[in-house]
Amino acid sequence: MNTESGIANWTLMYSTELLAFSIVLILLLGSKLKKIITAWIASNAMMIFIAQFGSRFDFSFSLNSISTIVITGNALSIIIHYYAANFSREFSFKPIIILITAISIWVLSDFYEYEWHGGLAITTGGFAANLICAWTSFKNPLWKGLRYRNVLIAGFIAASGMFFLRSMLFISNRNSDALPPELVTTQFGTLLVLISSIILQIGFIGMVVNYDFRNRRQKDRETAEAAERSRGMAEEQRLMETMAEERLDMIRLLTHEVRQPINNAQAALQALAQETKGSTPANAEIRDALARAQSVLDGITLSISNAILGVSLIDNNQAITTFASDLVEIVELALSDCPAEQRRRIHIHGAGNAVFSNLDPVLIRLALRNLFDNALKYSPQDSSVHVEIAQDEQRLGASIKVSNQIKDASGLSENIFGRRVRGTQVDVEGSGHGLFLVQKVADAHSGTISYTIKDGQDVTFDLFLPD
């Protein structure tokens, strides 16, 4: 096989190799790296086109159209390779500047005696640009850990070595007007182009496949971890529900065991109160003691009721059943739950007509009882508490407003409806659950609870229940 046919064969193999690898890359376009795969395919198509005009290794001194196509195509191919290697990082214009400078020197060298400077500039520029591609492939964290990264780097180094060899040939023939021995040099150079191109293509395709495999493996691992967390959360939820149910059963048991003795004690206190209706000082002292005992029992009853509500409505997420009920009757029942000596302080307004709303009477009664207890505790002794019941035409529902005086308006914080949150008046007994449970009852009815302060000393809590 003579030299000319050898060059033709190597060039044909070069074009065939680029075409084969481009077909493989087309099959990989579903990858997340679609952009750089597309760019790499375009670069391969450009190199196949250039191969029809001459080898990548063959750079002429003259500024004819073929040389221009070959040199420009080489420069664009290197820039595309740099874009692929530098993907996801901040783009650097160093390779572009190097190649533009080299082409400029090549163009200007046509006007000077030593035209070999242009060929040397082109080959040196290609050498430097390919080394930059190898370096950025090494530094890019996107490719870290990929096995084919080193193959890609080796391909860039081989390509830079090809340009370096051509530079040495230009230097060795710098005193000659002719190019280096054309056929032998170009045949060897074409072989180098083929080898470096194969290494580059294998490195790039292997890296893309390896990248996708790593992503799929990571996604599978994340899916497995998410499923495991979901199972853990489901198990934790099941345990919490079991604990909540056990806690509810315990409170129900305690309620059953405690409420009956409390009822018996209340009945006994009422009987004693009937027997001490006389006006003697001794009877008056007994009545005061009985009133205090009754107040303590009422507080215990309220605490137990709040505990049951807290577990069933909050911890156990128990659904409520609503039906049309008269708010006026519920307010009066809530009033009867208050200590007897405190009831006279509470005045109900707007009770002339029935006010109906869809609600759970037990929960609303307990919520109102907490509002009354809060108003009685935080207002001055012997001051009045006003309760207003009315239909709210604007908001389409019913409203119960509980108003009372307060000693210090600053005692009401923005999160007064939070759990275990109390006013700043720490001299008043309480657990901080009353208004929190009122908020939960309002939420369960898709309603609201809010408060307003007037003149710095009057506070009104508004429990709204939508129709």
In a domain, 291, yes or no: no
Strands (DSSP E) found in 296-433 = 323-326, 346-349, 356-359, 385-392, 397-405
Residue 343 included in any domain: yes
The two three-digit tokens of residue 362, written as one number:
């037990």
**For residue 243, is it within any domain?**
no
Of 138, 79, 132, 84, nearest to 103 by C-alpha is: 79
User: Which phi and psi angles does 461 have, rounded to 5°?
Assistant: -95, 130
pLDDT score, position 29:
87
**Does the residue 113 lie in any domain?**
yes
pTM for the model:
0.48
Residue 293 lies in a domain: no
Q: Are residues 212 and 344 in the same domain?
A: no
List of long-range contacts for 23-27, beta carbons under 8 Å, 24+ apart:
24/205, 25/205, 25/208
Helix (H/G/I), strand (E/B), else coil: 51:
helix
pLDDT, residue 271, reads 65
The two tokens of residue 259 are: 């409420």
Q: Which of 174, 201, 227 is the last residue of a domain?
A: 227
Residues 330 and 215 in one domain: no
The pLDDT assigned to 11 comes to 78
- Of 437, 463, 420, 430, give the one whose Cα is nearest residue 311: 437
Structure tokens at 193: 């182009």
Q: Which residue, of 208, 227, 246, is where some domain finishes? A: 227
Which residues on neighbouring strands pair with residue 397, listed in sequence order? 392, 466
Beta-carbon count within 10 A of 198 CB: 17
Question: Is 119 a member of any domain?
Answer: yes
Task: Say which residue the tokens 């496949």 belong to.
Answer: 209
User: Same domain, yes or no, for 356 and 461?
Assistant: yes
Contact 431, 372 (CB under 8 A): no
Query: Is residue 103 a part of any domain in this protein?
Result: yes
Cα separation of 430 and 437, whole Å?
13
Q: With both helix axes pointing from N to C terminus, report the angle between 149-172 and 116-139 in degrees, rounded to the nearest 10.
A: 160
Of 174, 205, 227, which one is at a domain's C-terminal end?
Answer: 227
333 & 443 share domain: yes
CA distance 166 to 172: 10
Same domain (yes/no): 329, 203: no
| 194 and 58 within one domain | yes
Range of the domain at 330: 320-466
| Sequential pLDDT tens for the chain (467 residues) | 455 676 677 778 888 888 898 899 899 888 888 888 998 999 888 888 887 765 544 544 455 667 777 888 888 888 888 898 888 888 888 888 888 888 888 777 766 655 677 778 888 888 889 899 999 989 888 888 888 899 999 988 988 888 888 777 777 766 655 444 444 456 677 778 888 888 988 989 988 898 888 888 888 888 888 888 888 887 777 776 676 566 556 655 555 555 556 666 666 666 666 666 655 655 666 666 666 666 666 666 655 665 555 555 555 555 667 777 788 888 887 787 777 677 788 888 875 677 787 787 777 877 888 888 888 888 888 788 888 888 877 778 888 888 888 876 666 666 676 665 555 555 555 556 677 788 888 888 888 888 888 877 788 888 888 87
Contact (Cβ atoms closer than 8 angstroms) between residue 182 and residue 60: no
* Domain contains 269: no
Number of domains in the chain: 2
* CATH for 421: 3.30.565.10
Look at strands 356-359 and 458-466 and give their pairing.
unpaired
CATH of the domain at 96: 1.20.1070
